[in-house]
Amino acid sequence: MTIHKLCKPGEQLSQVNLPLFSTHVCAGFPSPADDFIDRFLDLNEHLIKHPNATFFARAEGNSLQDIGIFDGDILIVDRALERNHGAIVIAALDGELTCKILDLHRQQLLSANPDFPPINIAGIEHLVIEGVVSFSIRKHLSA
């Protein structure tokens, strides 16, 4: 999966407060919804923990489709998070960015699609882990 950097949020994030309703939305059979607003929600406070160490990138390709990251998704990448085993990371291999699952036990970058083989990283000198993917954002409208 190729990665295209979009932007870095910067030090000052604008706050956008949107209503968060007190009822849950049923994903099965419909239920009547309340018109009561529980509180207002700023997505920055939920999606960006380290503003100075966070950037956005756009995913390209389908190597992580089995874990729900698809072509065109926006990735929120945090450079301050630990690069733990099993983390979804943005890695620079010989200057090219890719998004994969970090396997520290086997020293590999893994895909989540059987069509893509693991990438061995043992002994690679030009490997840089740019950050950890904390969230992905997907558009659900077709137009």
Q: What counts of helices (H) and strands (E) characterise the chain?
A: 1, 10
Catalytic sites, residue numbers: 63, 100
Domain that holds residue 120: 2-8+51-137
17-49 confidence digits (pLDDT tens): 656 555 555 666 555 555 566 777 788 888 989
Asked whether residue 143 is assigned to any structural domain, the reply reads no
In a domain, 13, yes or no: no
Is the same domain home to 89 and 120? Answer: yes
Q: Are residues 62 and 86 in the same domain?
A: yes
**How high is the pLDDT of residue 137?**
93
Write out pLDDT tens, residues 92-141.
Answer: 988 889 999 999 999 999 999 999 999 999 988 888 999 999 999 998 88
Torsion of CA 127, 130, 133, 138, to 10 degrees: -100
90/77 same-domain check: yes
Same domain as 65, residue 25: no
| Number of Cβ within a 10 Å radius of residue 108 | 17
Q: Does residue 92 sit in the same domain as residue 39?
A: no
Shared domain check, 130 and 93: yes
pLDDT tens column, 56-84: 999 999 999 999 999 999 999 999 999 99
Residues 39, 64, single domain; the answer is no
Q: What is the DSSP letter of 51?
A: G
Q: Do residues 93 and 71 share a domain?
A: yes
Pair 39, 91 in one domain: no
Which residue stretches of the chain are H helix? Answer: 43-47
pLDDT of residue 30: 57
